[in-house]
Each structure stands twice: as C-alpha cells, then as structure tokens.
Amino acid sequence: MKVLVDTQCWLWMNASPEKFSDRMRTLLLDPDTVRMLSAASIWEIGIKYHLGKLPLPVAPMDYVPARLALTRTTPLSISVTHALRAGALSPLHRDPFDRMIVAQALVEGVPVLSSDRQLDAYGIRRLAP
C-alpha cells in the first residue's frame, strides 16, 4: 500500500509514535507499505523550524534526510500536474501546504495519513492516525 504522510504525522512517526493507533503503527512498520512525504511538507518543516515554531534536535538540513532514511520514507516531488491541481482546489482549507498534499493525493491516487478532518472536504481517502 502507498500512503502520503502529512507533515504532522511524519513528525509524530519520528518523535511520538505512541500517537498512532496499533493498526496504524502496524501499517507504517509494514515493509510493503510505501511511505511518501511531500516536498511541501519538507518545505513547511524548514519554514517552521527557522521561525522558531518547530523545535528539532538538529537543523532540517540534517534532520529530514536522516529521518527519511530511518523511516524508509520516499520524498514526493511537486510536479507541474500537482501544482496545477493544487491551484484549482477551492480554499476549503486555508493552509497551502495541506492543499498541495491533497492535490498530490488526488493526482497520485493515494490515501493521506492525517489527523486533519478538514481534508475530508476534498474527497480524498484519509487515514486517521
């Protein structure tokens, strides 16, 4: 199964795995699960870290690549198709990072692991943590 992990859930995977249900931990630890993290999430992590809103043990330049490897998470680049789809989404959710994640999920045909119920308004398949 492929799953696009939103920013908050990816950070939880690394620092607070107890926030996930047993079922979701099993899915995330399954070697057949393809975990993806949007480039938008990586950008969001960098911005929040440098604004002092996201404490990390080391700077994102070191943290993100190391944790991507540790969690066997594949970065998902933003394509032109993703950008066009995100730009066409109604602003039901005000966060542009989340709208990009929604657009990528729609284009790629994958569910999103997120605790954000506002994403449901876009008709995506959302997996609750």
Q: Are 98 and 116 in contact (CB under 8 A)?
A: yes
The domains of the chain, with CATH numbers, are: 2-127 (3.40.50.1010)
What's the rounded mean pLDDT across residues 92-107?
94
Closest-CA residue to 121 (of 129, 3, 37, 112): 112
Q: Tokens 């657009």 — which residue?
A: 103
How far does Cα 121 stand from its chain's mean position? 17
State pLDDT tens for residues 39-64. 999 999 999 999 999 999 999 999 99
Tell me the CA distances in angstroms from 44 to 30, 51, 100, 124, one per residue in order.
Answer: 27, 11, 11, 21
Q: What is the pLDDT of residue 97?
A: 95
pTM for the complete prediction? Answer: 0.94
The continuous run of DSSP H or E covering 34 comes out as strand 34-38
